[in-house]
Amino acid sequence: MDATHQLAGSDVTIPAMGLGTWAWGDKSTWGMGGYDSELTMASIEEAWEASIDAGVTFFDTAEVYGNGESERIIGKLLANDVTRASKVTIASKFMPFPWKVEVKGALERSLRASLDRLGRESVELYQIHGPISFRSQAAQAEALARVVQAGLAKSVGVSNYSASETRDIAAQLERRGLKLASNQVEFSLLRRDPDSGGLLATCAELGVVVLAYSPLGQGRLTGKYNASNLPPGKRNFGRHPMEQIDKLVEELRRIGTKHGGKNPSQVALKWIIAKGVVPIPGAKNRRQADENAGALGWDLDEDDLKILDGAALLGPKSIQGRFWQHG
Ligand SMILES: NC(=O)c1ccc[n+]([C@@H]2O[C@H](COP(=O)([O-])OP(=O)(O)OC[C@H]3O[C@@H](n4cnc5c(N)ncnc54)[C@H](OP(=O)(O)O)[C@@H]3O)[C@@H](O)[C@H]2O)c1
């Protein structure tokens, strides 16, 4: 039940579930300071407290989230709440825009700027945000090795990498005496492709932890949206006809009821945890953080897993085409 995961090449252990902080400080997709007037520093602080108190101590951010605002907010939380800060593991990301040709220097500069915003001397995990650099995997592995050697990152990972790209960068890191710790991909009941397409198996073989982003289909699997109440903002992940998603949510409700009143979000997250993957759902407030933490501490049975495997939607094979639509 709810196994923790060690990040390869380090002594860092992360819990079975983390928290994604893209929404913290982001205006255009998540509406802070815009369509969502309830997403405030106070609501974020409550989400932070509730998560850590429930054992969700792993936080994912990126230099591009809110143009650094997500990291700045985490920096404030870390500084103002020293007791909880001591329990926290932070992952951030380098966006390898193709114009960052001198990737070694660019990656180190980005990480130093992230650390500045976070008010930390190092992060536990530093990830390459996507396979979009014009530079070789060797050059990017070299850049990652440099920040580990400099003590700025305890472990390194990637995001949005296919199985073959994961193998390539893992081999390049290995040549430099490093391990690839993680690959962060879109994985949910609205995109089961990483499971059926073999990416999870490849990562398991390589000892790479898979982090599941948009695990709630950007809110679509929570049960609060439906065909006549679509999610606001430009949420590009987990997109399917809402009528199709409504049926899946009904199944989640049915299974949740069987397990003593678990809600659709909790069942959707538990399905991911049961696959040995670490979901990193976003939470904007205490209620969402508490609910999501309720995915921990219980199990789905074999029948539930079979039903959910059958009901899960394949989703896109690759997200390359829409990579530029988000941070
Ligand atoms: N590496 C990448 O390329 C990449 C891409 C995307 C995301 N990510 C990471 O993954 C994290 C999570 O993904 P995501 O934020 O896109 O999607 P998500 O976790 O599937 O959905 C998060 C949103 O769902 C709603 N929500 C969450 N919990 C809820 C609950 N219990 N009840 C009702 N509504 C709830 C909230 O929005 P509303 O209240 O507004 O509905 C929340 O912002 C991000 O924060 C980021 O760290 C990485």
Pick the residue whose CA is nearest to atom 43 on ligand 1. Answer: 282
Per-residue pLDDT of the chain (327 residues; tens, 9 = 90+): 799 999 999 999 999 999 999 999 999 899 999 999 999 999 999 999 999 999 999 999 999 999 999 999 999 999 999 999 999 999 999 999 989 999 999 999 999 999 999 999 999 999 999 999 999 999 999 999 999 999 999 999 999 999 999 999 999 999 999 999 999 999 999 999 999 999 999 999 999 999 999 999 999 999 999 999 999 988 989 889 999 999 999 999 999 999 999 999 999 999 999 999 999 999 999 999 999 999 999 999 999 999 999 999 998 887 665 555 454
Map the chain to HEC letters: CCCCEECCCCCCEECCCCEECCCCCCCCCCCECCCECCCCHHHHHHHHHHHHHCCCCEEECCCCHHHHHHHHHHHHHHHHCHHHHCCCEEEEEECCCCCCCCHHHHHHHHHHHHHHHHCCCCECEEEECCCCCCCCHHHHHHHHHHHHHCCCECCEEEECCCHHHHHHHHHHHHHCCCCEEEEEEECECCECHHHHCCHHHHHHHHCCEEEEECCCHHHCCCCCCECCECCCCCCCCCCCCHHHHHHHHHHHHHHHHHCCCCCHHHHHHHHHHHCCCEECCECCCHHHHHHHHCCCCCCCCHHHHHHHHHHCCCCCCCCHHHHHHCC
Distance 205 CA to ligand 1 centre (A): 28
Quick one: which atom of ligand 1 is closest to the CA of 232?
A: 40
Handedness of CA 247, 248, 253, 254 (dihedral sign): positive
Pick the residue whose CA is nearest to atom 24 on ligand 1. Answer: 219
What pLDDT is attached to residue 322? 53
Specify the pTM: 0.97
Angle between helices 103-118 and 69-80 (to 10 degrees): 40
User: Distance between CA 21 and CA 71 in Å, rounded?
Assistant: 9
Q: Tell me if 118 sits within 8 A of 91, measured CB to CB.
A: no
CA angle 147, 152, 153 (to 5 degrees): 80
Whether residue 235 has its Cβ less than 6 Å from ligand 1: no
Residues forming the active site: 65
Distance 244 CA to ligand 1 centre (A): 20
What pLDDT is attached to residue 234? 85
Q: Tell me if 78 sits within 8 A of 117, measured CB to CB.
A: no
The amino acid sitting at 82 is V
Pick the residue whose CA is nearest to atom 4 on ligand 1. Answer: 213
Whether residue 304 has its Cβ less than 6 Å from ligand 1: no
Whether residue 215 has its Cβ less than 6 Å from ligand 1: yes
Whether residue 159 has its Cβ less than 6 Å from ligand 1: yes
